[in-house]
Each structure stands twice: as structure tokens, then as C-alpha cells.
């Protein structure tokens, strides 16, 4: 996916003052049971390693403030978390899984957080039903991609006409 920024996650782990893992913080703070045995809270479905980024990719987020409910939804329903570079204030999606194509997770995360998928990512999202997200979330992703694709199609059709009319 061409929109990703390469970021060494070792640097993220070694600099917790520079990199804030909002996904993990909100997830851990949301657990009121404090019943994590064997590294797992059964009631909240939180593992001791939940929302920890694994892959060296970051996806820029446009907005700066997200409701905790949206962050928890991203963490629980996708293989992503939200990281903040405290030096710059920039927010990013980070991948918490690897070994397969997580483009559906990235797309769904953008829908949850920003209500849209960046234009240059839409064509990169794998269209295999049930690949890395639930069937319910796949339907949401599919509908959003269809709607955004129509919108982009109209935009580029208008741009094409504009350029054709230049004398």
C-alpha cells in the first residue's frame, strides 16, 4: 500500500516518551475488571500484548482528536492501533499483526476514525470477503469503497472534461 510510511518499530519501543500508543492506553484503561490472569481479561477480551504494533509501517491520520470509543473499536475490530509522535503531534495507524495483507484492517480503521479511506488506498484494499475482518465489517468496508469510488469517478470525469476543454 503506497500510502504507508516506513517506521522502525524498535525505535518506537525504545522511545515511549516520543511515541504514545493511544490504542493500547485506551484499551487498558477501559478494563475495569483488573481480572487479567495469564495475560488475558476474559470480560474485555484484552491480552497483555493487545494493541502493540508489529510491522514497520505507519499510516497518517488527518484528524488529531478521536473519541475513546472509536479508538477501542479500531483496536478490537482491526489489527491496528493509533500511535502519536509526541514531538510533532502527528497521529498514525500502526499494524498490530503481520504475515498477511492487512489492507482491509487499515481501510476499516480509516472508516471508523475518519469516515473515509484515502484515495490512494482504495484500489489497494484486497477484495476477498472474510480475509482479515469480520463479515459484518467487510460489508461496511465494501459499501464505503463503492460510495467513495463513485465519488472519485465523478471527480476525475469532471477533471478530464476540464482538461479537454482547454484550447
Q: What is the pLDDT of residue 36?
A: 54
Structural domain boundaries, residue 81: 5-164
Q: Calculate the average pLDDT of the chain.
A: 89
**Against a cut of 0.85, is the pTM above it?**
yes
Q: Is the pLDDT of residue 48 over 80?
A: no
- SS3 helix, strand, coil % of the chain, rounded to 5? 45, 15, 40
Mean pLDDT of 45-73: 89
CA-CA distance, 109 to 115, in Å (whole number)? 9
pLDDT range class, residue 1, cuts 50, 70, 90: very low
Tally of CB atoms within 10 A around 36: 16
Give 64 or 121, the one with higher predicted confidence.
121
CA-CA distance, 107 to 122, in Å (whole number)? 8
Give residue-wise pLDDT tens across range 92-130: 999 998 767 899 999 999 999 999 999 989 999 999 998
Domain count, the chain: 1
Q: Is the pLDDT of residue 11 over 80?
A: yes
Q: Is the pLDDT of residue 37 over 60?
A: no
Q: Who contacts 78 (Cβ-Cβ below 8 Å, separation ≥6)?
A: 102, 105, 106, 108, 109, 112, 133, 137
C-alpha cell at 64: 488529531
Amino acid at each position: 500500500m503506497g500510502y504507508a510510511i516506513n517506521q522502525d518499530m524498535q525505535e518506537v519501543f525504545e522511545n515511549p516518551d516520543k511515541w504514545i500508543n493511544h490504542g493500547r492506553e485506551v484499551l487498558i484503561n477501559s478494563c475495569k475488571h483488573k481480572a487479567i490472569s495469564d495475560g488475558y481479561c476474559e470480560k474485555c477480551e484484552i491480552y497483555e500484548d493487545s494493541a502493540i504494533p508489529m510491522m514497520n509501517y505507519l499510516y497518517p491520520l488527518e484528524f488529531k482528536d478521536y473519541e475513546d470509543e472509536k479508538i477501542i473499536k479500531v483496536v478490537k475490530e482491526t489489527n491496528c492501533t493509533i500511535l502519536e509522535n509526541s514531538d510533532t503531534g502527528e497521529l498514525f495507524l500502526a499494524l498490530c499483526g503481520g504475515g498477511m495483507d492487512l489492507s482491509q484492517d487499515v481501510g476499516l480503521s480509516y472508516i471508523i476514525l475518519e469516515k473515509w479511506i484515502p484515495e490512494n488506498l482504495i484500489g489497494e484494499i484486497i477484495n476477498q470477503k472474510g480475509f482479515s475482518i469480520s463479515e459484518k465489517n467487510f460489508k461496511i468496508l465494501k459499501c464505503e469503497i463503492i460510495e467513495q469510488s463513485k465519488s472519485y469517478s465523478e471527480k476525475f470525469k469532471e477533471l478530464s472534461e476540464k482538461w479537454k476543454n482547454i484550447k
